[in-house]
Structure 1
Amino acid sequence: MDVEVILISELPLPFHKVASWTNMYHYLFKEKTHHFNYIICPEPKEQLNGISYQFLRKINVLDKLKNKIPSKSKYSNYLEAMDKIIQPDKKYVLQIIDNSGIITPIHNHICKTYNRTDFYIQYYFHGFAPIVPSKRGKKFLGSIDELLFLTRLAYKEFLKFYDECPFKARIIHNGIDLMRFKSVNNDQKEALRLREGLSNDEIVFMWCSQDRPKKGLHIILEAFKEVHVKNPKTKLLVAGVNREINQKGVINLKRVPNVDLPKYYQMSDIYLFPTLWKEGFGIVLAEAMHCGSYIIASDQGGVREVLGNGEYGVLIDHPNIVSEWISAMNNGMIEINNKGNKFSSRIPEDLYSLDNWCNTMNQFIEEAKQKLLS
């Protein structure tokens, strides 16, 4: 009996906005051999070659009225799309990304309509903290065959939160393109800086994220104000913020296309990651560290694991306290001026490689297929 693999995404694939996991799948589909046969998703602007699509029907007013009836599911368009693919003489691996609400409806639908043993549900979770209340956790987790986590720390959070975790757990770190995100020599770094009006004798900090309070830019701006007063030869590059920032030493790059990000990491000395929420991974940390930046980051969510428990960067225990950032930034400048970036030599060459991610994902899917066949 054949086993086919269906990827179920609430985002169109390929996706042309910011989302780290969509970039990884795009790379897998375009550059590598993969095991996916179908994608269920909203219709994208362009389609990937070599894979079959089943587009989600748009929810209309009548659907919304029906969804108020307990027996109806607001995910009926997902179930309809799945039914158009499934054939009675085949088995299926269903990989679902981040959409926790769809897990139980899909499980119930399969149990009612098909043979549940012909299906293997992989849920790929890109967050950190548990996302389903503990009262509903038993039903939710009992519907999953395998749960893919970004870090072991996230997996442990589930074990602490839920009384029962019957699923098989796997860890798959995010991946980045190491052909793009890589360090440069001093001459190249100086040339990049000159194009941006930066001198080689300045210490350049960088912050890059979406402009939301939980990303901690306000903490960094306050810390940098004091750092800059005592150390005028410092600059702070801010990427991802469209509003005006009128502060001495701060250069607002505004929205930076992904293709241009490496050069800003490469011209920076210290990358700041002041997240104020439990990050699933923080893929910018992997990008910045491979571009040669000295990392200072909040000890939140999966960040500790990404930084090798402090082996690859400095962890801030109390990220809401500005003085801790001032101290870490000052210490970072002293270290860089005296000895350079002590963390760079500790980072394995293929750490968080996108190719490794592709190989691991293919391995997990192949093992799921074998599980169904056995």
Structure 2
Amino acid sequence: MKNKIRVLLSNLPLPFDQVGSWTFEFNYLLKQAPLFDYVLSPNPIQSDVFRYCKKRKWFKGAKLFKNKLLFSWIFRDYIRELVLIAKEGKPLQLLVVDDQALLYALAKFKPQLPDNSELIYYHHGHSIELSPMVMYRTDKVFFLTRLGYRESVICNNQFTPEVEIVGNGVSSEIFYPLSTEEKIRKRKLEGFGSSEILITWMANSRPVKGIHLFEKMIPALIELDPRIKIIIIGNAHHLKWKSDRLIQKGRLNPPQVAEILQVSDFYFFTSLWKEGFGLSLVEAIKCGNFIVSSRNGGIADVVGGYERVRFIEDPNIIASWITEFGNIISSDSWRDLDEKTRNSLFDFFSLKSWEDRIRNGLK
């Protein structure tokens, strides 16, 4: 008989039927051997396991009564369900995914849970600052990288929770490198020549992702070599700079993203904030791309032992990117993806390895 009841809590509906980041891996996890007894999220499809819980919005003046309204309004559904679950008489193990307001509410509520209940927070940013009350009542924090954990120790005067480094996971069935022959064949289908040098940039339109700087790089990048073409994925706003060597794809689903990354040569990761993980970075690596990236946040930990990478130490200086990239393509050595590296990419931050780390962290 199980000695605890495991509950997953999310402010996004799980399973999630739209394009997301960490939601894709939780969709995968929920399809595997049962791990959670209950899932509390705003998913209208309910069952014995999946319970509908909505995070309500603050209204004018509500924050004057913050603590009271966390329970009576904002997270009312979550608290109601936990009260019902607690009646089963066993300790609860709560895993809160990337919502510090929900973590705060549950830390306040924790004394009302059965004895030996645990509160675990899965942080999807880089570092985290916690108030003493939340810190003392949070039993464990899942971090994406060791760098994120270490910076959290620095930015908090004290840091008491147990820590697990769990990272993220990317599908090795969708994101994988092609053989040289298959890459040439797929390039032809996409309208690209075998000798062309394809650079991919992918993210949303937020300034912290660096699209405004990358747009300024494009003319200089194209000047470096007539074989260079640039593909942009995800940016919602078409760039002002126009060229037949610039292809803008808009938002794509994961299989479509993989098809582009598999025929690409370089992936530019121009993040200008303390990146928590960088799922797109892992997707590009798993497809065999040579990475040109800033070194912000946990990026260096994510790249790990992958050798096909160059870091830009001054990412806000556009000339730094142009100079480094010019040095890289001056030699054809960047084209080589040796067999050992190719074979290692299947397990590189795979969904299965991520699942194993989550299960181990919940023991």
Partner Cα separation in structure 2 for residue 161 and residue 276 of structure 1: 20
TM superposition shift of 1:100: 1.0
Residue aligning to 1:83:
83
Aligned partners of 2:328 and 2:334 also within 8 Å: no
Residue-by-residue CA offset, 1:308-334 (whole Å, 9 max, x unaligned): 277451111111110111022222323
SS at match of 2:14: coil
Residue aligning to 2:335:
340
1:353 to 318, 342, 350: 350
Residue aligning to 1:26:
27
Unaligned runs of 5+ in 1: 368-374
Aligned partners of 2:15 and 2:30 also within 8 Å: no
Alignment coverage as a number of residue pairs = 354
TM superposition shift of 1:24: 0.7
Bigger drift between 224-233 and 70-79 goes to 70-79
Partner Cα separation in structure 1 for residue 155 and residue 55 of structure 2: 35
Residue 207 to residue 60, structure 1, CA distance change in 2 (3 Å): closer
Residue aligning to 2:161:
167
Aligned partners of 2:97 and 2:123 also within 8 Å: yes
TM superposition shift of 1:276: 0.6
Aligned partners of 2:264 and 2:289 also within 8 Å: yes
- TM-score scaled by length of structure 2: 0.90
Is 1:209 the equivalent of 2:210? Answer: no
Residue aligning to 1:3:
4
Residue 14 to residue 85, structure 1, CA distance change in 2 (3 Å): same
TM superposition shift of 1:169: 0.6
Residue-by-residue CA offset, 1:226-285 (whole Å, 9 max, x unaligned): 121231211000001233334222111111122211110011000110001111000111
Partner Cα separation in structure 1 for residue 56 and residue 291 of structure 2: 44
SS at match of 1:288: helix
The amino acid that maps onto 1:39 is: V
Q: What pairs up with 1:39-188 in 2 under 5 angstroms?
A: 39-44=39-44, 46=45, 52-57=49-54, 59=56, 68-69=64-65, 71-74=67-70, 75-111=75-111, 113-115=112-114, 117-132=115-130, 137-188=131-182
Partner Cα separation in structure 2 for residue 6 and residue 234 of structure 1: 50
Partner Cα separation in structure 2 for residue 71 and residue 228 of structure 1: 55
SS at match of 1:72: helix
Aligned partners of 2:231 and 2:246 also within 8 Å: yes
Residue aligning to 1:279:
275
Partner Cα separation in structure 2 for residue 162 and residue 315 of structure 1: 28
Aligned partners of 2:274 and 2:297 also within 8 Å: yes
2:184 to 190, 205, 210: 190
Partner Cα separation in structure 2 for residue 68 and residue 344 of structure 1: 61
Aligned partners of 1:56 and 1:77 also within 8 Å: yes
Aligned partners of 1:318 and 1:324 also within 8 Å: yes
Residue 341 to residue 139, structure 1, CA distance change in 2 (3 Å): farther
Is 1:242 the equivalent of 2:243? Answer: no
Q: State the identity %.
A: 27
SS at match of 2:237: coil
Residue aligning to 1:306:
302
Residue-by-residue CA offset, 1:126-156 (whole Å, 9 max, x unaligned): 1003254xxxx21221120000000000000
Residue aligning to 1:16:
17
- TM-score scaled by length of structure 1: 0.87
Is 1:288 the equivalent of 2:284? Answer: yes
Partner Cα separation in structure 2 for residue 346 and residue 195 of structure 1: 26
Is 1:321 the equivalent of 2:317? Answer: yes
Aligned partners of 2:308 and 2:334 also within 8 Å: no
SS at match of 1:221: helix
Unaligned runs of 5+ in 2: none
CA RMSD of aligned residues (A): 2.3
The amino acid that maps onto 2:37 is: N
The amino acid that maps onto 1:7 is: L
Partner Cα separation in structure 1 for residue 213 and residue 252 of structure 2: 21
Partner Cα separation in structure 2 for residue 186 and residue 310 of structure 1: 19
Partner Cα separation in structure 1 for residue 348 and residue 4 of structure 2: 32
The amino acid that maps onto 1:196 is: E
